Amino acid sequence: MQKSTLFIDESGKSNLLLDEKEPFIVTGVILDDQESIAIEGFFTYIKRKYQIDDTKPFHSYHIFENETTKLSDDKLLELSKTLAEFISLIPIEIMILEVDKVAFKKAIGLIDEQQCTGSKERKNVPELPYKILASELFVWFAEYLESKQHIGQVIADSRRAGDSRLLKTLSVCKEGHLPTINGRISVLINDKVSALCFAEKNFLSGGLEITDLISYITFFRVRELLSKNKEIGIPLIWNKIKEKKALRLVTEEEIKEFFGIEVNEVYKDLK
């Protein structure tokens, strides 16, 4: 049986009590193993062309933004043109989920951070955005695997505390303990998603590097910073990501349904 991999990366802070006006996104990229050698080889060629060390991971922040490691503006513009074409050509599936923290807090009934003190359950409330976005990715991946008759693994960029959250979320999805993820869906995730791995910063994986790039570029879009980075070609890459119709804002209605919040009620751990 053939195998596919879901690569996961995130941008922004998931905590509802931090940077309330800044969005949070989780990016998922599915790559079939039969395509991975060609895609990763193509990406390695791009790194060599622009004299980027191909023995180390491509971290978009270091290439585009870090003052001590970024390329010149002229070189970045040429790199962006190449990466835009690369994104448009490679056979990958993309899902990018965005959360508006203000809307999320309204949906669950979180008014004051004092509501998140006391019990362990209350203290975990600020991290709920990560739970819903990761769960949505697992459902999407499992359904993709079913449609292709593949088995799958998940590789995520290691984020310390985020690692345990992702592991717990996958476990809850498999056990069917969520209002919208149970029955057939939980069985599907349990049957099809067979491994979860966490990659350190020095882990060399073309799939993870591409996911990092897509997440990085999309974060400019959701913060409305594309026009400020036109000279280095960021909008060129975004336009190709946009063509894949991958970005979606999770609505208040979806949040309420996911957590089983009734009309005029609040999230169970805030009661």
The pLDDT profile of the chain, 271 residues, written as one tens digit per residue, is 899 999 999 999 999 999 888 999 999 999 999 999 899 999 999 999 999 999 999 999 999 999 999 999 999 999 999 999 999 999 999 999 999 999 999 999 999 889 988 888 899 999 999 999 999 999 999 999 999 999 999 999 887 777 888 999 999 999 887 888 878 899 999 999 999 999 987 888 889 999 999 999 999 999 999 999 999 999 999 999 999 999 999 999 999 999 999 988 999 988 8
Cα–Cα distance, 84 to 236 (Å, whole number): 6
* Of 151, 149, 193, 199, nearest in space to 169 by CA: 193
Residue count of the chain, please give it.
271
92, 118, 155, 176, 180 from 212: Cα distances, Å = 14, 36, 12, 30, 29
What the chain holds in terms of domains, given with CATH numbers, is 3-270 (3.30.420)
Q: What's the burial of 153, exposed, middle or buried (CB within 10 Å: 0-12/13-18/19+)?
A: middle
For residue range 139-160, list pLDDT tens digits in order.
999 999 999 999 999 999 887 7
DSSP code for 19: -
> Do 115 and 122 form a contact (C-beta atoms < 8 A)?
yes
For residue range 121-135, list pLDDT tens digits in order.
899 999 999 999 999
For residue range 29-39, list pLDDT tens digits in order.
999 999 998 99
- Tokens encoding 53: 């060390």
Look up the pTM and report it: 0.94
Q: At what angle do helices 33-49 and 206-222 cross, to 10 degrees?
A: 70
Cα–Cα distance, 217 to 211 (Å, whole number): 10
Beta bridge partners of 7: 29, 155
